[in-house]
Chain A
């Protein structure tokens, strides 16, 4: 009797675990079958890794196989969602079916997954900053596969990097925020105190100051890209301190939702978040990766691909501004549109001196303009930002 009981227990536990594993596989990884296939082929492929990428070295009529590595789920309504939209656009334009793996942590797991994908794909897009070193390592092992990494600064013969000047759109969001605030007090929810977030925060502040010189911006760092509950806490602490317009450099709409409950205005990041609270929505920077993905894959197909550091902007459409919320008045929209035209024409550059940091030191001299390298390495906050960069 006892023995039979134990067998039943073991059986049911094993069944539950299997179910859990299968279901979590389904839930988090739409290309589970694909990566599994890659894993089983691994021994064969590792003996001759060059085979898999051979098709990409010379232009052929055959279409390249493309894979994407995502940091979050495509349904996050933010960063990964936009990359996924870009993938769908590329698939439609070029008639290619790309694979993707979602929820890949920025850890050794990433290197394993990139390696697996490199074994049977010609082009691998790794879409988050933290994949940089892993992508570089794998690129060294698969010289015939092309790797394209978003938002990093390291490149190799077969590894390029791409990103866009989203601070241009942050500047425009700042103009809207500066016009909408009644207390001259804005709040910014920053994910990590890294240059990408810092130059967006600075651009947002400069945009707001361009229409409203008395503005101050409070900033809090959440140390997470995606955790709705934490982002909400951060937003509420800003609202409690008196900020009445918020912008969140985060992947979820939690800040906007928290602001809506208090009747404040807010925007998010990465994609159009208007649907979450149309009446309290400001606007925010939006990524549009599709055209770039088409261009990159096409150039591999044509055999013209070169490793480069591609930087898109509002002029080529990689960076856009989301449609305004319902309650943003016409005159504010007009003001932002005018500035947008001047940014696209190149007449207006966001980081043009004089700019002081928030300790009062002049960082950019009158008439001087920061180069892209200087912007990408930014580690100071402009005057008017209340907060500091943790060392």
Chain B
């Protein structure tokens, strides 16, 4: 396998948890609610997966529990932000602190115990024979396939269905949506909950396909990267796919450059993801300077029926 193929495989494997979390963030924020709790939700998803998988040995049950627990946290986030109209930044940060602390606490007994298995890979038979593509798809596991499918489904949902129209209306102008008979609160609750569940699934993916043991603080800031990627991808699932894989590649390119025997110090290589982020942001900012940013118009503003602004 050549350098590029290997890098691509590494990018997809490192990018999948980022992709799932970014998609979760996009769903949440499209409904007009800021999601800063990704780090905590990912940790909760990861720890729940580990606990249930180790105790029961059932992968599906573990995934369902991770989704259920993080969905529950999503309900808490929506209750705070939608019903109580709390400050969404604060609620998100609280979610991160809460998730980091709680996951460390309930994860103590299973910390360091290896999982009984990893995310299964699909056997694709003939496709594996195809050069390059075969080598790449042969390495993909079920969750990666699911995330790819999800990109397509969410893209169609958001941009080509009436549900998506409702979602965007709620995120852009909830008052108008309300007048049109769309149930704003219900939609916000549903998408915030679904988004949180996806972020939880991202945490599950980290332990299943990446580092198959629970350890405190396992995500090491990847939740925050996902928060950034939501903006980077301009709230668009297709762009999220490229952004997530791009960051996945940056995650591993530093080591590969070290191994090429270059004289560039690893400290500098470690800066690459951040330097590239700044450069790309500058370029995109310049290229899109006359276009709308894609931010849902009422992101961060709680909706109160009949309140004047």
Contact = CB atoms under 8 A, between A and B. Distances in A.
Interface residues of A, number: 55
Interface in B99-135: 100-105, 107-108, 111-112, 114, 118
A232 to B, nearest CB: 6
B85 A23 contact: no
Contacts of A107: none
B259 A27 contact: no
Contact of B101 (A25, A73, A193, A226): A25
A237 interface: yes
B161 interface: no
Contacts of A193: 266
B297 interface: no
A275 to B, nearest CB: 7
A372 interface: no
B86 A75 contact: no
Given A13-B87, A13-B94, A27-B101, A240 B6 contact: yes
A247 to B, nearest CB: 16
B1 interface: yes
Given A229-B220, A233-B14, A391-B265, A241 B259 contact: yes
B172 interface: no
Given A75-B108, A228-B211, A229-B14, A16 B252 contact: no
Interface of A: 5, 8-9, 12-13, 16-17, 19-28, 73, 75-77, 81, 103, 193, 218, 220-223, 226-230, 232-234, 236-238, 240-241, 252-254, 257, 261, 275-277, 386-388, 390-391
Interface of B: 1, 6, 10, 14, 80, 84-87, 90-91, 94, 97-98, 100-105, 107-108, 111-112, 114, 118, 206, 210-213, 215-216, 218-220, 222, 251-252, 255-256, 258-259, 261, 263, 265-267, 270
24 contacts: A5-B84, A5-B85, A9-B80, A9-B86, A13-B87, A16-B98, A17-B94, A22-B101, A24-B97, A24-B102, A27-B100, A28-B104, A75-B108, A75-B111, A75-B112, A220-B259, A228-B213, A229-B220, A234-B255, A240-B10, A257-B213, A275-B114, A387-B259, A390-B267
The 9 closest A-B pairs by CB, nearest first: A24-B101, A75-B111, A27-B104, A77-B112, A228-B211, A27-B105, A23-B101, A390-B265, A20-B97
